[in-house]
Amino acid sequence: KLYIYTHTHIYTYKKMPAAGATVGYDRMKEVKEFDNSKIGVKGLSDSGITTIPKFFVHSPETLSDLKSSSTCTGIPVIDLSRLNSHLDRPKIVEQIREAARTWGFFQVINHGVPVSVLDETIAAVKAFHEQPTEVKAKHYVRDEGQGVMYASNND
């Protein structure tokens, strides 16, 4: 099986009002309304919006616990060519764990998946997102226990 995750790093934000936040603003209500619309970010973009919806924007105060990494200057690259090696497997697993923990994503090389399969997968993902909202809406859920999941933000 090939699993493709387009977003794996989930942040926990402090529950405090943003500086200059609108009094009475209910971010979670807006997120719920957006989720219920099941249009996703592409649908939002296709609708012709000209500004980023407020619930996608986090103030510096809510992001203050996030630390940037100064130890790595590029996206982590994980080489799977020696994954079946008794000696190298634990090192590779640790590289994946560290990349996922610090970056939330990484590039995998020497994975053995043919380029044609990758190209077909990307084409299928693009085709899915080009479908009408009504078709995509059947898969728009936040419950990660489902076999197939389509969501726009992971708050």
| Nearest partner of 56 among 23, 24, 34, judged by Cα | 34
Domains held by the chain: number: 1
* Within-domain flag for 119: yes
Residue 1 in domain: no
Q: Is residue 21 part of a domain?
A: no
Radius of gyration, CA atoms only, the chain:
19
Task: Give the pLDDT score at 127.
Answer: 92
What is the C-alpha to C-alpha distance for residues 139 and 132, in angstroms, rounded to an integer?
Answer: 12
Q: How many CB atoms lie within 10 A of CB 28?
A: 10
Q: Is residue 124 part of a domain?
A: yes
Could you give the dihedral angle defined by the CA atoms of residues 57, 53, 32 and 153, in that order, rounded to the nearest 10 degrees?
Answer: -60
At residue 153, the pLDDT reads 55
What span, in angstroms and rounded, lies between the C-alpha atoms of 82 and 101?
22
Which tops the pLDDT comparison, 65 or 9? 65
pLDDT for 28-78, tens place per residue?
888 888 888 878 888 888 888 888 888 888 777 777 776 665 665 689 999
In a domain, 151, yes or no: no
User: Which amino acid is located at 25 in the chain?
Assistant: Y
User: What pLDDT digit, counting tens, does each position of 99-145 carry?
Assistant: 999 988 899 999 999 999 999 999 998 898 888 888 888 877 766 66
pLDDT category of residue 95 using cuts at 50, 70 and 90? very high
CA distance 111 to 83: 9
Question: Range of 126's domain?
Answer: 27-137
Report yes or no on 105 lying in a domain. yes
Establish if 147 belongs to a structural domain.
no
Query: pTM of the prediction?
Result: 0.49
CA distance 16 to 20: 12
Assess whether pLDDT exceeds 60 at residue 4: no
More confident residue, 66 or 152: 66
The answer for 20, left when phi > 0, alpha when psi is -120 to 50, beta otherwise, is left
